[in-house]
Structure 1
Amino acid sequence: MTLSLHHEFPASSRLVVHVGGRLDAMTFGEFDEALLELLPRLAEGGTVVVDLAALEYVSSAGLRSFARIRKSMRARNGHTLLLNPQAQVRKVFDIVKAVPVSEVFASTQELDAYLDRMQRQITEGDDDA
């Protein structure tokens, strides 16, 4: 299976990327190229949400791609969140500790609860959120 990518900008500060298929040595270049074009369109301090629901396989090349996104977003005071990983993909993250568990979410509801909590912390004066 090949890589499939779809994206949407629900707001100028939020990019949602839907990734499907395999993210491996054969497909990571396509993924990186697409994100290289999309990330600059985000507002400073924005958030990239990578929806992994349709991602069936990730290799170390794919993990490096996620790390590059995170590094790029941190440099722009932004955030990277991973959503809906299938069990085998989440297991890879758990094994290599490539992505902090607090940034991987089991469902859209869990992500929304996290975002709500983070926003509430900011509006209540806790800027360390």
Structure 2
Amino acid sequence: MSLTIDHQQQDRGLATLAIGGRLDAQTAPELDAAAVTAGEGVNDNATLVLDMKGLDYISSAGLRSIAKMRRAMQARGGTVLLVNPQPQVRKVFDIVKAVPVNEVFTSIAELDAYLDTMQRKVIAEGKDS
């Protein structure tokens, strides 16, 4: 099985890569290339959402690809958030502690609620200043 990647550019502050299939040594370079393209389409301090709803399998090469993506975004003040991991993929993240738990969301709705809360905090902090 191959890797499918759907790049959705919401705006200059947010992009989504929806991935499906297998993320392994043979397909990780495809994700690396897509991440570079997505990163070029967003501002510094942007968020890149990796929607894993269709991802059935991830290997250590896939974990390295995601780690590389996270480092690149963090270097620009941005972040990578993971949503919709299948149970077997989430188990891999749990085992290797590759991604902080607060950056993995079970659904888009959970991610949206988190982002809403973070924005409300920033607004509240601005009013207190």
TM range (shorter): over 0.9
Counterpart CA distance in 2 for 1:80 and 1:122 is: 19
CA distance in 2 between counterparts of 1:91 and 1:111 reads 19
What letter corresponds to residue 107 of structure 1 in structure 2? Answer: S
**What is residue 40 of structure 2 aligned with on the other side?**
40
Deviations 1:61-100 (A, max 9, x none): 0001111111011111111100000000000000000001
Check if 1:96 corresponds to 2:96: yes
Displacement of 1:37 after TM fit?
A: 2.1
Give yes or no for contact 2:51–2:83 (8 Å, CA) kept in 1. yes
Residue segments in structure 2 that go unaligned for 5+ positions in a row: none
What stretches of structure 1 of length at least 5 have no aligned partner?
none
Partner of 1:84: 84
**Alignment-derived partner of residue 119 in structure 2:** 119
Across the two proteins, how many residue pairs are aligned to each other? 126
What is the TM-score of this pair, normalised by structure 1? Answer: 0.95
For 2:66, the equivalent position in structure 1 comes to 66
8 Å CA contact 2:47–2:78 kept in 1: the answer is yes
1:47: how far off? Answer: 0.3
In 1, Cα distance between equivalents of 2:122 and 2:69: 24
**Alignment deviations for residues 26-45 of structure 1 (CA, whole Å, 9 cap, x no partner):** 10011101212221221111
Identity of aligned residues (%): 51
State the secondary structure of the residue aligned to 1:25.
coil
Q: Which amino acid aligns with 2:17?
A: V
Give the structure 2 partner of residue 50 of structure 1.
50
Counterpart-to-counterpart distance in 2, 1:37 and 1:114: 26
Q: Distance in 1 between matches of 2:35 and 2:108?
A: 21
C-alpha RMSD of matched pairs (Å): 1.0
TM-score, normalised to structure 2, is 0.95
